[in-house]
Amino acid sequence: MENPTFEVKLELLDNYKFAIDFGEFGEIVTDEPEPLGAGEGPNPSRLLAAATANCLAASLMFAIRKYKGDPGKVTATVEGHLERVDGRWRVTSMDVDLRLGNSAMNIEKLDRVLAQFEDFCVVTQSVRSGIEVNVHVRDKDGTGLALPEED
């Protein structure tokens, strides 16, 4: 298992466009769609959907391979659904379609695989159960700024 902590760095490039630095894994650019941004990259909602689908696909492959099966070329499609909740846009659900590249009849113990693979997915299980997010805001000198207390 990798180190249980990780770091990702973001830098504002322009308007709502950010460079996201994954360290040794490189950098990507994100942006909000128009009218806020210019749509020059995926926005955070799409990154969340991609992370969820990727994690599920990897977990499915892991579960199949655990029983020495061959999943073939696995693909995934995810559709995210946005709704207004208390007047603000929120990702309220995601539909993930996973496709195996091998016939189900050629994968041993598929019933066991299907019963357990979602439990291996760090991202999906974290999103489903809620994630504690601690927020700190600092000025350019590193001084911490007080955030309003939540009701």
The rounded distance, in Å, linking the Cα atoms of 95 and 17 is: 27
Mean per-residue pLDDT, 74-87: 94
Q: Is the pTM of this model over 0.85?
A: yes
Strand partners, 97: 77
If we measure between CA atoms, which residue out of 5, 6, 90, 96 comes closest to residue 51? 96
Tokens of 151: 């009701």
- pLDDT score at 151: 58
- pLDDT score at 129: 87
For 54-69, the pLDDT digits (tens) are: 999 999 999 999 999 9
Q: What whole-number percentage of the chain has pLDDT above 90?
A: 75
> Mean pLDDT of all residues in the chain?
91
For 5-43, the pLDDT digits (tens) are: 999 999 999 999 999 999 999 999 999 999 999 999 999
Which amino acid makes up residue 7?
E
Residue 2 has pLDDT above 70, yes or no: no
Please report which confidence band the pLDDT of residue 53 belongs to, taking 50, 70 and 90 as the band edges.
Answer: very high
Please report which confidence band the pLDDT of residue 91 belongs to, taking 50, 70 and 90 as the band edges.
Answer: very high
The rounded distance, in Å, linking the Cα atoms of 23 and 116 is: 32
